[in-house]
Structure 1
Amino acid sequence: MSKQGYHHGNLRQALVDAVLLLIEEKGPNGFTLSEAAKKAGVTPAAVYRHFKGREDLIAEAARQGYEIFADLMEFAYRSGQPSALASFEATGRAYLAFARRYPGHYVAMFESGIGLNRTPELFAIANRANGVLERAAEDLSQRIPKDKRPPAQMFSAHVWALSHGVVELFARGSPGTTSPFPPEDLLESGIGIYLRGLGLVPPD
């Protein structure tokens, strides 16, 4: 991106795009604001026209990531309808697909140390994304007798944790964490075991 892009009003997004590339290359703490500015083709002083500092820039990358993530989760949820089980499983697979397709956003969201309360916009979109999985869990849990039904937030948190673990250990090429099975198969079998334990799918 050249400095001409700034005059056309593109600097804000150019900086976010630069940060996403730097996050992929160096991690969320491996670069400076000056490096982000240089990658966007502007001086460090120009960054402050749009962001207070480096953390606010990463927070915007995370916000944009959650927006993509929420849309993807919504699409996955709807794709399984009217089956509550299919919708629930689809949201788990969507998590894995997002991490692979948008690694810079994923790291900004989950590994940068940026709190969701940093901006109202970040908090709102993150809640929207989380709410999709909770809704899928709520739909599926209706099959469980009310006195034995786990809270939807707990239900969805378990699957979120399982999905996150598969992504972190086996889907992002972390050193020393190879698996003889594709991440998709690990996630599907793990969710299946969990759902069988709740009596939501029949045993093999």
Structure 2
Amino acid sequence: MLLLLTYVRRINFRKRLTSKKSDQPMTKPKVQKKSGYHHGNLRGQLTAAARQLIEEQGPDGFSMSDACRLAGVSTAAPYRHFKSKEDLLTEVAMDGLARLGADMEKNASGYPRGTVESIAAIGRAYVQFAIREQHTFRLMFSTKSHAGRIEELKSVGRNSYGVLLQEVARYLGEDGITEEVMRASFPLWTQVHGLSFLAIDGKLDVTDFPVDIDQSILLASERLLPPRPAPQGS
């Protein structure tokens, strides 16, 4: 999905977008303090703390010590799970990709499966995630901080992308992820991915008219999807 104009218009757009029934609520990651700390949840605590700091300060705006302080653990604790800050950033990116996949699946499940509407709902969830967690979204698609774990990141990303592939397969009546499914899915992803970056970069003002994101995604889905195959025997 390589594909949002002044400051006020961006705020108005976000208000319109978050008023839709399919929106995911904006939530801060829950970071347990030291009283709730034990070895079993250290990785999750640090990931949640880093995610919060990334959204507040950007990935370059905090240190491992800041993440430890927010998580309520010692400065030596992260190195039981993460070799470096970059390793922790990759964990946040993978967590983001997994949560994005879950959001897309949840949105699609609110509509009849294998329909234009369910496919458009996946696209809306994608753009909504990007707007809600802008720094995390950028991190998810950056290669700068993930050099040592790029294959792990790609694997989680493929699982997330698989939500779209499976929905398009249902639409086409295919039993699995065929070449036709992949061909039909790629333009859908590039449309919403590009739209996401236009949104978070504040570039939608170039149109000089209010942009209805939901309607744009629905129209693009209708036009980019191939015709449904005729039922056998018809």
TM-score by length of 2: 0.65
Selected match of 2:158 from 116, 127, 138 = 127
Structure 1 position 79, deviation (Å): 3.2
- The aligned counterpart of 1:185 is 215
Q: 2:50 matched to 1:34?
A: no
Show structure 2 runs of 5+ residues with no match: 1-31, 229-234
Structure 1 position 89, deviation (Å): 1.9
Contact conserved, 1:28 with 1:107, CA < 8 A, in 2?
no
- The aligned counterpart of 2:189 is 160
Shift in alpha-carbon separation, 1:87–1:8, aligned structure 2, 3 A: same
Q: 2:192 matched to 1:169?
A: no
- The aligned counterpart of 1:76 is 107
Show structure 1 runs of 5+ residues with no match: 144-148
Structure 1 position 30, deviation (Å): 3.4
> Superposed, which structure 2 residues align to 1:1-204 within 5 Å?
1-7=32-38, 9-103=40-134, 105-111=136-142, 113-115=144-146, 118=149, 122-141=153-172, 151-170=180-199, 172=200, 174-175=201-202, 177-178=204-205, 180-195=210-225, 198-199=226-227
Q: Which has the higher contact order (CA 8 A, sep 6+)?
A: 2
Shift in alpha-carbon separation, 1:82–1:38, aligned structure 2, 3 A: closer
1:15 corresponds to which letter in structure 2?
L
CA separation in 2, counterparts of 1:87 and 1:34? 43
CA separation in 2, counterparts of 1:83 and 1:50? 40
Number of residue pairs aligned between Structure 1 and Structure 2: 191
Structure 1 position 159, deviation (Å): 1.0
CA separation in 1, counterparts of 2:197 and 2:162? 22
CA separation in 1, counterparts of 2:108 and 2:148? 26
Structure 1 position 50, deviation (Å): 2.3
Structure 1 position 157, deviation (Å): 1.7
CA separation in 2, counterparts of 1:77 and 1:140? 12
Q: Which has the higher helix share?
A: 1
Structure 1 position 20, deviation (Å): 0.9
CA separation in 1, counterparts of 2:100 and 2:78? 26
Partner SS state of residue 112, structure 2? coil
1:167 corresponds to which letter in structure 2?
S
Shift in alpha-carbon separation, 1:121–1:109, aligned structure 2, 3 A: same
CA separation in 2, counterparts of 1:116 and 1:155? 30
After superposing the two structures, state which structure 1 stretch, 160-169 or 181-190, moved more: 181-190
CA separation in 2, counterparts of 1:2 and 1:86? 42
% same residue: 33
Shift in alpha-carbon separation, 1:116–1:48, aligned structure 2, 3 A: closer
1:61 corresponds to which letter in structure 2?
V
**CA RMSD, aligned part only?**
3.2
CA separation in 1, counterparts of 2:68 and 2:128? 30
